[in-house]
Amino acid sequence: MGFTLIEVLVGVAIIAAIVTGVISAIDTNARAIGILDEKVQATNLVTAYLEGVRQLPYSDSASPYASVSNSIVKPTQYVVAMDIAYSPDGVYWAPTNNNGAYKLQRITISVSHGDKPVLSTCTFRSPRTK
């Protein structure tokens, strides 16, 4: 005996639902891997920039750590921005150091992939006292 048309349609519908679920899971996994790759790449770039800043002596010049980006190889689709703000007390922040009067620096490093921001972090720096 053969199957009826209804039984065949129900069987095809069940198989289609299973295949759709599997394809959806594969697509979700591929997207998650892409996002994870972006975050890992951004974390590596931020770490490299922070290490580069850390290796240089404290400076309160106009762009004290601009040379850091020269030694770091970054993928072409990623953009790294470093922003430095200065403060006399850790509460008020200014884009300039007030002719050397503000000794506390807040260094913010932001990484974007294309136009999409991926990661932003900051660290603080001040001159060492002896």
| Sequence ranges of the domains in the chain | 5-125
The answer to whether 84 touches 64, Cβ cutoff 8 Å, is yes
* Per-residue pLDDT tens digits for 43-63: 999 999 999 999 998 887 778
Report the alpha-carbon distance of residue 85 to residue 9 in Å, rounded: 67
Give the pLDDT of residue 69: 86
Q: Which of 45, 108, 107 is nearest to 77 (CA)?
A: 45
Report the alpha-carbon distance of residue 105 to residue 98 in Å, rounded: 12
Residue 30: burial class (beta carbons within 10 Å; 0-12, 13-18, 19+): exposed
Q: Which of 45, 109, 52, 117 is nearest to 83 (CA)?
A: 109
**CA atoms lying within 13 Å on the CB side of residue 87:** 14
Q: Is the pLDDT assigned to residue 18 strictly greater than 80?
A: yes
Q: Is the pLDDT assigned to residue 21 strictly greater than 80?
A: yes
How crowded is residue 110: how many other Cβ atoms within 10 Å of its Cβ? 17
* Per-residue pLDDT tens digits for 69-79: 888 888 889 99
